[in-house]
Amino acid sequence: MNWVLANLDLIGRLSLEHLRLSVVPIVLGFVLAIPLGWVAWRYQLTRGVILTITGLLYTIPSLALFALLPPLLGISYLSELNVIIALTLYAVAIMARSVAEALGSVDPGTRQAAVALGYAPWRRFWEVDFPLAGPVLLAGLRVVAVSTIALVTVGALLGVDSLGYLFTNGFQRRIVPEILAGVVATMAIALVIDGLLALVGRGLMPWSRRKQPIRSRPGTESFGRGVNPGASA
Query: Using CB under 8 A as the criterion, which residues of the chain lie in contact with other proteins when the complex forms?
Result: 41, 44, 47, 51, 56, 59-65, 67-68, 71, 77, 97, 100-101, 104-105, 143, 146-147, 149-151, 153-154, 156-159, 163-164, 166-168, 170-171, 174, 176, 179-180, 182-183, 186-187, 190-191, 194, 217, 219-233
Name the residue nearer to other proteins (CB basis): 70 or 206.
70
Q: Is the Cβ of residue 171 or residue 207 nearer to other proteins in the bound state?
A: 171
Nearer to other proteins by Cβ, of 52 and 127: the residue is 52
**Residue 229's closest CA among 15, 29, 23?**
29
Half-sphere exposure of 15 (CA within 13 A, CB side): 18
Closest distance to other proteins from the beta carbon of 49 (Å): 14
Least distance (Å) between residue 58 CB and other proteins: 8
The answer to whether the CB of 84 falls within 8 A of the CB of 29 is no
**Of 36 and 150, which CB lies nearer to other proteins in the complex structure?**
150
In whole angstroms, the minimum distance from the beta carbon of 123 to other proteins comes to 22
Query: H helices of the chain, where?
Result: 2-6, 8-42, 44-59, 62-73, 80-104, 108-116, 121-124, 130-151, 164-172, 176-204, 207-211, 220-225
Closest by CA position to 80, among listed 69, 92, 94 = 69
Within 10 A of 175 (CB to CB), how many other CB atoms are there? Answer: 15
Q: How far is the CB of 225 from other proteins (least distance, A)?
A: 6
Nearest distance from residue 29's CB to other proteins, in Å? 15
